Amino acid sequence: MLARRHLRIRVLQTLYTYFQYEGYSQAKAEKDLVEGTERLYDLYLTLLQLLVELAEQETLYRIDVASKFIVNKKEFTRSFSKTQFISWLSEFKPFTTAVSKSKISWQADMEAVGKCFYKLRHNASYRTLTMTNDELNEQEWMQKIYKTEIEGSEFVTSVLEEKNIWWAESLSLAHSMVVKTIRMFYTASEKSILPLYKDEEDDRDFMVKLLKETIKHDKEWTSIIAARTKNWDVERIALTDIIMLKMAITEFMQFKQIPLKVTMNEYIDISKDYSTPQSKMFINGVLDKVVEDLRTENKIVKTGRGLVEN
């Protein structure tokens, strides 16, 4: 499921578009935020289905190889298609139902799937993993295959972007969901694919409120940031940093049940992947000043057990 961090990233992406393009209305931003998040789940299902399709390609390839005696099939010491994860996923009813309901299919792109597998089987790491006896447990192997051959593949990325132009901005989130699904399959007591939301109504409300309140208080938050970045050239501060600061202030001021430390840590961590190498220190420093000053002015009110003193 999407963690709150993922929801914050979705809001960040939407706000970036909102502040970049004149004429992009708040109503359109809200609509795109919700619909874009739902498209993310389709992307997640599509990536899982790609694993099933690649496994089928591998099976066909090995049958062909064995029939032509090109190589002794005993040389294949591991089979991607016969891993516990792929065997389970291809038969897991909630997954196959979700794929059918969302009309997820690679049938019109089988040439692309074939090329994906061609690139996969010609990669040194895949050959090493499938044709040697090196000790490596199945979970590690599956995660490594996914991260190096799918998440790290420019070809796969380009194919997905051609399938849906809206998926580009959500690829990193979808990949993290797939990796988490693989990890949980091997470690959790209950095996399942991830839901989109932990609590659909609550999570949607969180996203929409964060978006709306950040836009509503844009000028006020800009003044707060400007007063605490006097030693910085504001024109050279990355737009993503400015947006993350505004989102954090929104949470400080408008989300009474979210601890200050949680908000600060979340945006500092998000900055590592979505902004410049210097952003972590910059955002941390500015937010420290903002919190200190807003507390002095009694403008931060947190309610709920354990939050009053945060």
d(CA 223, CA 234): 12
Asked if residue 198 is part of any domain, the answer here is no
Tell me the per-residue pLDDT of 268-307, one tens digit each, with 9 for 90 and over.
999 988 888 888 899 999 999 999 999 999 888 887 654 5
Structural domain count, the chain: 2
- Report yes or no on 306 lying in a domain: no
182, 221: one domain: no
59 and 108 fall within a common domain? yes
Task: Tell whether 204 is covered by a domain.
Answer: no
Q: What is the pTM of this model?
A: 0.77
Question: Which range, of 22-31, 127-136, 192-201, averages the lowest pLDDT?
Answer: 127-136
Query: CA angle at residue 41 from 119 to 168, to 5 degrees?
Result: 55
In a domain, 301, yes or no: no
Residue at a domain's end among 136, 169, 187: 187
pLDDT tens for each residue of 102-155 = 999 999 889 888 888 888 888 776 776 666 665 667 888 888 889 888 898 888
Same domain, 147 and 245: no
Q: Is residue 75 part of a domain?
A: yes
Pair 263, 131 in one domain? no
Last residue of a domain, one of 187, 205, 236: 187
Has residue 199 got a pLDDT over 50? yes
Residue 237, domain extent? 217-296
Q: What is the identity of the amino acid at 87?
A: S
Residue 38 falls inside a structural domain = yes
- Angle subtended at Cα 25 by Cα 21 and Cα 28, rounded to the nearest 5 degrees: 105
Both 239 and 137 in one domain: the answer is no
One domain, residues 224 and 183: no
Question: For position 273, which CATH number holds?
Answer: 1.10.940.10
pLDDT at 168: 83
Q: Are 173 and 28 contained in the same domain?
A: yes
Sequence-separated (6 or more) residues with CB below 8 Å from residue 143:
179, 182, 183
The pLDDT mean for the chain works out to 86
Q: Is residue 195 part of a domain?
A: no
Do 34 and 138 belong together in one domain?
yes
> Which structure tokens are listed for 6?
């993922």
Q: Quickly state the pLDDT bin for 172 (edges 50, 70, 90).
A: confident
Q: Is residue 203 part of a domain?
A: no
Is residue 65 scored above 70 in pLDDT?
A: no
- Is 132 found in the same domain as 65? yes
